[in-house]
Amino acid sequence: MYKVNKVRPLWERQMRAISSFLAMVSTLGAIGWLNAAPSPEVGSDATDSSARIQQVAPRNYEIAASTNWLNPTRSREVPHPATRVVESVPDVSASGNPSIVPLQWAGLVLNYEVFEKDGIKYNRGCTGQFISPRVVLTAAHCVQDAKTGAWYDLKKMYFLAQYQNNSFSQSYRAVCASRFDGWWPAQLTAQNTEERNRARQNRWQWDYAMILVDRASATGYYKNWAVGWQGKYQGATATGYPADMLRGEIIQKAHGEIYFPNFTMPNIVALRHNHSDLTQGASGGAWVANFSKQDDAEHNILIAVSSFIMKEQSGVSFAGYPTSALHRLFDYVSKGCSR
């Protein structure tokens, strides 16, 4: 079963040079810049999961071409809800170039004004990337709140392509979004504690979402993405916009070793890249096998997206191991989130 959120693609104006954007993004909570970390106590394997569409959104509205909608007076520095692994000057060797393949296909998934605290409204952001002319792949917790289950409003959801240093090449509006049923199973609200805890752990294998945007990518997309690839790839390059690295203004990349962690959480894969700054953030960012400037069938194969971290394992990112279910989700979203 699917659950969708649709809006009319009325807005096609580009926005550039948003000087206040990262000041606000860096204050984000658990979504995007801080990936949720599950407990080591996990349950048994979950069954296959179908896609779920977000609810239909109200009619969209236009936003002025100026950057006043990101008012800097709304930005406030708040304590990070998790202990920062590194407080010293970041290692900028991981910085990437969004003007070349494959990083030119990536950008920020921005959810505008998703929560309010002390009268101040805040945004939440994630990493995403085009996997077809109009479909953006990201993490499920980037379209639906991981704690409350509330869907983010599609009329306030944007994909900012090639984001870098407070600017971006194109701004896209969300038309619909979908994720797997397994990301938010009914058991999450079960009265039985054991059943509820098992559901909380099993859900992370389904931390994938796709967004259909209002028009085709101007810079291309990942043409190669793989599922069920265990044993074929020994390493990959993680990509994304972690807040701990230059306040999230520069897309980052870090190559690492792939392994399947030795705990009972089902269908989880790990990437040991040894960049502790890259773990707090970059949710939804692609793991890329054979990372290269070459755009061909042998290079830039998307094999997962960053989902969560575990504080006791610095320099390691975790993701759901992708299965053929991902193709079903893609087919569904590609058709406008309708059967």
Lowest pLDDT segment from 61-65, 205-209, 265-269: 61-65
Contact 225, 327 (CB under 8 A): no
What is the distance between the alpha carbons of residues 323 and 268, in angstroms, rounded to a whole number? Answer: 11
Judging by DSSP bridges, how do beta strands 268-272 and 286-289 pair with one another?
unpaired
Considering the domain boundaries, does residue 14 fall inside one?
no
Considering the domain boundaries, does residue 15 fall inside one?
no
Contact 30, 277 (CB under 8 A): no
Considering the domain boundaries, does residue 78 fall inside one?
no
The continuous run of DSSP H or E covering 329 comes out as helix 325-334
pLDDT above 70 as % of the chain = 70
Domain of 107? 21-58+91-334
| Per-residue model confidence as pLDDT tens digits over 108-138 | 999 999 888 899 988 888 999 999 999 999 9
Lowest pLDDT segment from 12-26, 200-214, 291-305: 12-26
Query: Alpha-carbon dihedral of residues 184, 149, 209, 287, nearest 10 degrees?
Result: -90
**Residue 310, CA distances (Å) to 85, 195, 280 in order:** 11, 22, 10
Contact 234, 270 (CB under 8 A): no
Considering the domain boundaries, does residue 70 fall inside one?
no
- Burial of 49: CB neighbours in 10 Å, binned 0-12, 13-18, 19+: buried
Predicted TM-score of the model (pTM) = 0.77
Neighbouring-strand partners of residue 253: 239
Q: What rounded mean pLDDT belongs to the chain?
A: 77
Lowest pLDDT segment from 94-103, 166-175, 261-270, 277-286: 277-286
Judging by DSSP bridges, how do beta strands 170-180 and 252-259 pair with one another?
unpaired
| Per-residue model confidence as pLDDT tens digits over 132-171 | 999 999 999 999 999 999 999 999 999 999 998 878 999 9
Number of separate domains in the chain: 1
The answer, yes or no, to whether residue 178 has pLDDT greater than 60, is yes
| Per-residue model confidence as pLDDT tens digits over 23-39 | 333 333 333 333 333 33
- Burial of 233: CB neighbours in 10 Å, binned 0-12, 13-18, 19+: middle
What is the distance between the alpha carbons of residues 190 and 183, in angstroms, rounded to a whole number? Answer: 15
| Per-residue model confidence as pLDDT tens digits over 87-100 | 233 344 557 789 99
Instruction: Provide the pLDDT for residue 15.
Output: 36
The continuous run of DSSP H or E covering 159 comes out as strand 157-161
Considering the domain boundaries, does residue 147 fall inside one?
yes
3-state class (DSSP) for residue 236: strand
Considering the domain boundaries, does residue 51 fall inside one?
yes
The DSSP symbol for 221 reads -
Considering the domain boundaries, does residue 137 fall inside one?
yes
Output the domain CATH number for residue 208: 2.40.10.120
Considering the domain boundaries, does residue 75 fall inside one?
no
113 Rama class: left (phi>0) / alpha (psi -120 to 50) / beta: left
